[in-house]
């Protein structure tokens, strides 16, 4: 049984070495290991805090982006609305100008027609005057030749041209 149960001297030295090792580790090892664990814990906690802060910043940026996108869409809609209104204004102005131009052309045509009508009337009056002179000349010529025939011709010619 000597192999399974150690002797009292071996047990004493093992206990002594264990206590010395425990003392050395307690004096020099545990503070360093504890310090490293605390530093590691602080580093992990700082990383988690920074990640949380970055997540919040990302959410804030995403919210800001959504707000900017909404504002941009509103501006786009307003610009489109203004463009549509401006197009309608231009269309209406063009329509009004076209109507004014058409009215001006019609007025000019009426004035031209009236002028040509006046010219035609003047020409007609001149022709009537010329016919009257011709008739008077022929009547005078026939009167000098035959007085009864002259009266008949004059009456006939006057009745033909009396359209007032």
Count of domains forming the chain: 1
pTM above 0.75, yes or no: no
The pLDDT value recorded for residue 148 is 65
Say if CB 101 and CB 116 are below 8 A apart. Answer: no
27 inside domain: yes
The pLDDT value recorded for residue 115 is 93
- Residue pLDDT, tens place only, 38-91: 999 999 999 999 999 999 999 999 999 999 999 999 999 999 999 999 999 999
5 inside domain: no
Task: Determine the distance from the C-alpha atom of residue 155 to the mean position of all C-alpha atoms in its chain, rounded to a whole number.
Answer: 82
2 inside domain: no
d(CA 84, CA 92): 12
Domain that holds residue 61: 11-161
d(CA 39, CA 34): 8
Exposed/middle/buried for residue 153 (C-beta within 10 Å: 0-12, 13-18, 19+)? middle
Residue 149 clears pLDDT 70, i.e. is over it: no
Phi, psi of 3 (to 5 degrees): -80, -30
97 inside domain: yes
Check residue 27 and report its DSSP letter: I
Rg (CA), the chain: 63
């Amino acid at each position: 049984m000597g192999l399974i149960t150690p002797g009292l001297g071996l047990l004493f030295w093992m206990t002594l070495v264990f206590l010395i090792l425990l003392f050395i580790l307690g004096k020099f090892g545990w503070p360093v290991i504890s310090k490293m664990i605390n530093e590691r814990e602080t580093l992990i906690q700082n990383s988690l805090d920074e990640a949380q802060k970055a997540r919040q910043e990302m959410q804030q940026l995403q919210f800001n982006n959504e707000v900017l996108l909404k504002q941009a869409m509103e501006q786009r809609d307003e610009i489109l609305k203004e463009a549509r209104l401006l197009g309608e204004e231009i269309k209406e102005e063009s329509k009004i100008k076209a109507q004014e131009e058409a009215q001006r052309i019609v007025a000019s045509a009426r004035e031209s027609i009236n002028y040509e009508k006046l010219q035609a009337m003047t020409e007609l009056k001149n022709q009537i005057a010329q016919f009257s002179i011709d008739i008077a000349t022929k009547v005078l010529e026939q009167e000098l030749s035959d007085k009864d025939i002259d009266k008949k011709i004059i009456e006939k010619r006057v009745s033909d041209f009396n359209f007032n």
